[in-house]
Amino acid sequence: MIDPVRFKKILVQLLILLVVIELLGAFIEGVGGKGWGRFGVDLIVAGILYVMWERIRLVVAEKKDEFRRKMETAPQAVGLFDALVFSLLWTDIIYGNIPRDRIRLIVISYTLIALGVVAAFLQFGPGLMPLVVSGALVLGAVNLVTWVISLERGEKESLQTELKLAHDVQMSLMPKADPVLEGFDIAGISIPAADVGGDLFDYSQLGTEGRIFGVSVFDVSGKGMQAAMSAVFTCGAFAAEALHTSSPAAILTRLNRGIFAHSRRGHFVAFLLAGIDPERRVVTFANAGQTKPILISGGTLSWLDPSGLRFPLGMKEDSAYEERCVQLSGGDVLVLLTDGFTEAMNPRQEVFGDEGIEGVLRQKEIGGLPARAIIDRLTAAVQTHAGDAPQHDDMTVVVVKVL
């Protein structure tokens, strides 16, 4: 494995050594009476190299990330100076991203280029023979690097296709419209991150009587197609369990055994299930490792602690979950969300946190807004906090407002 830091230091040291040897040779030549022209030219070139290097270091110290974005963003044009800065100063990133099985080809490419440079300066063979040999060596090195790049591009395109398919699967599992439940205003949204995760929310009837309206918010561990397929399995298993009982605790207990039996170890599902009884205005919920629900009632905001275990589904085979009942009143707002909201970070790596969520939901006008407007207010606040920072995790939220 190439050590990028050491490799860059060796290259810089070799360059400095070559410059010193050249200056020393020119100085000896001048002392020997052959003239100081070569030494003067070498001093000018060395000065230019020093000034360029110092300028590059100063510019990169201020705009390092900007140079990288220019290289990564297509089809934006990349100037020669930008490319030079990136290639010299981002050595650690460039070599750190080369797959282990491709590194030997890169080493061979550099070896061919080095031999080509040597062949160009050594006078062997008649006429253009040194130029032909050095040109063939450098061309071979370029071809190898081009092949490595094409392999990586093909694998990247394949991964992008998989992520697109995983995204489509994830979106197809979620509701296409807000539900209609007498006496309640309910809305939900899931904003996927760039790397497709496993956040999902859904609405369903719990039990055989159809009296209890279920709201589920869960987060499957993993990314990409693996997370999407795990979400499909979890959705199917949940739908089957929800037919038997209206008890959120009983459903999660049975669902946990299925996920533990059919998932590989280390795979978990954070699952929050709330059952709403619209006639009694009571919500009963069980929480398996998901973010605590938030209740805004009478101007007071509180995080609802669960009863019993909080292990995610699939962690322990014999987990038995408990449920908690909360009486609701007109004007109450119940917020169910995933940690993508609380853990959203800005460019300074500062998380939005529980305080950020509370800051939005404590606003006086929140109680008078419909559920969809509350979601819009919350997501806008998180996105403003994040700024230009990439979204690292899915963000899912369901708001239940009692009319």
pLDDT digits (tens, 9 = 90+) for 188-211: 998 887 655 678 899 999 988 888
Find tokens 């629900």 and name the residue.
293
Q: For residue 1, is pLDDT > 50? A: no
Mean pLDDT is highest, among 67-71, 175-179, 332-336, for 332-336
Instruction: Give kind and range of the element (H or E) at residue 294.
Output: strand 294-297
Q: For residue 369, is pLDDT > 90? A: yes
Residues above pLDDT 90, as percent of the chain:
31
pTM for this prediction: 0.62
Angle between helices 37-72 and 4-29 (to 10 degrees): 160
Map 337-373 to HEC letters: ECHHHHCCECCCCCECHHHHHHHHHCCHHHHHCCHHH
Distance (Å, whole) CA 29 – CA 35: 7
Residue 272 CB-half CA count within 13 A: 26
Q: For residue 89, is pLDDT > 70? A: no
Distance (Å, whole) CA 163 – CA 168: 9
pLDDT score for 93: 63
Mean model confidence pLDDT for the chain: 80
pLDDT score for 154: 60
User: Phi, psi (5° rounding) for residue 273?
Assistant: -125, 125
Q: What is the mean pLDDT of residues 357-378?
A: 92
Q: How many CB atoms lie within 10 A of CB 77?
A: 7
Lowest mean pLDDT among 27-36, 46-55, 343-352: 46-55
